[in-house]
Structure 1
């Protein structure tokens, strides 16, 4: 979005301050990495070393800027002293506002990525509930009573891009069933939400009932051993799955 925008566009003011901020941050990170004295000075002033982004992971840039926002909010004078010590221009008031708005807007996206990129305990059923709730959180940010000074167009652009990128996923029956059959989500991830985004609880109930009638979810049920069945019963009891199946079958 930034590369396609111009100075006169709605993103122009954000682009100007964000590029200026990132230029200062890049020099500051380099100073910390290249000078043990500067690194020690930063640690003495702030009690922490500055986080440095990893170019292969977008999240690392977000968390560095989040740390910067926290330092600018809590110890602004010490941050000024650090910039002076590094012979760099101080971070301006406008840049401080930009980093605050940026981290608030990108926070839900960063959290979603962190969750989906877990190496353990991650399943296909997480994807749609994550996208659904991410969309809802971005909706809330767009409808805040006080609009963002610099980052509103960034928020709107990210929101539209996510909807466009993942629109086809909501037509994938496998993803829908995976989400509704995951014991953590079931149908509750659609609870108390209006059907204004992609789907609703009633639609998911109908889909599950149709699949049950077709027998698609019972393919190997009768072939399981007694030992396997005993293990499944224990797991179903833990996640309260059996009660959900009973209710669904009763309503079919």
Structure 2
């Protein structure tokens, strides 16, 4: 809470060039943002701790904070993206969930030691439990599937990373969208297949298989 005190905050600004922040319950990413600021000024932390009469950060402390930042980054980035004022539509929901999954999988399987790996595995399981219908492409959320495929930034790029989770094949997803286009006269039905050919936006990450559109489930 030193950052909230005038004298302490003045010392931080003088030494770090920024004011370290602290978590706020009304801001989802505030803990992550606070940790990122600490990490960004790692080389000056010992001076700050001395001046503020606080215990110095140990090497283990910093490793833990860096692992925390790495583990939380997929969630923090997704929340920032979904709270954006532009370019966020219903069609971004499934691709964003798949992007979180892809990034978490990469952290868990990178072979590096991580203090929070087990917690990250748990968070991943909770994410799946909460959004199971979206990861399995249940018929209950067909509108979200259509919206995602018709989103011009991603279209079908998000399908490959969840192929083994879903209840639908890629051909069934294509048919679902084409039938929707035909039933709702969105465009000439002859052009519906072209809507499904994809490109990828800068935020999204669907892994190495993002250009694979095999029909296996």
TM-score, normalised to structure 2, is 0.78
CA 1:61–1:247 in 2, change beyond 3 Å: closer, same or farther?
A: closer
Pair 1:45 & 2:11 matched? no
**Could you tell me whether the CA contact under 8 Å between 2:181 and 2:192 is conserved in 1?**
no
Distance 1:157 1:186 in 2: 29
**1:179 aligned partner:** 148
**1:31 aligned partner:** 2
**Could you tell me whether the CA contact under 8 Å between 1:71 and 1:79 is conserved in 2?**
yes
Give the alignment's Cα RMSD to 1 decimal.
Answer: 2.6
**Could you tell me whether the CA contact under 8 Å between 2:98 and 2:161 is conserved in 1?**
no
Shift of residue 244 of structure 1? 5.0
Distance 1:243 1:80 in 2: 66
Shift of residue 86 of structure 1? 1.5
Stretches of structure 2 lacking an aligned partner (at least 5 in a row): 197-217
**2:208 aligned partner:** none
Distance 2:116 2:195 in 1: 45
Distance 2:162 2:119 in 1: 25
Shift of residue 143 of structure 1? 0.5
Pair 1:127 & 2:93 matched? yes
Distance 1:106 1:202 in 2: 34
Distance 1:65 1:243 in 2: 52
User: Which has a greater percent of helix?
Assistant: 1
Rg (Cα) greater in structure: 1
* Residue-by-residue CA offset, 1:54-110 (whole Å, 9 max, x unaligned): 2211201111101111222xx1xx211211222211122222111000101110110
**1:25 aligned partner:** none
Shift of residue 200 of structure 1? 5.6
TM-score, normalised to structure 1, is 0.68
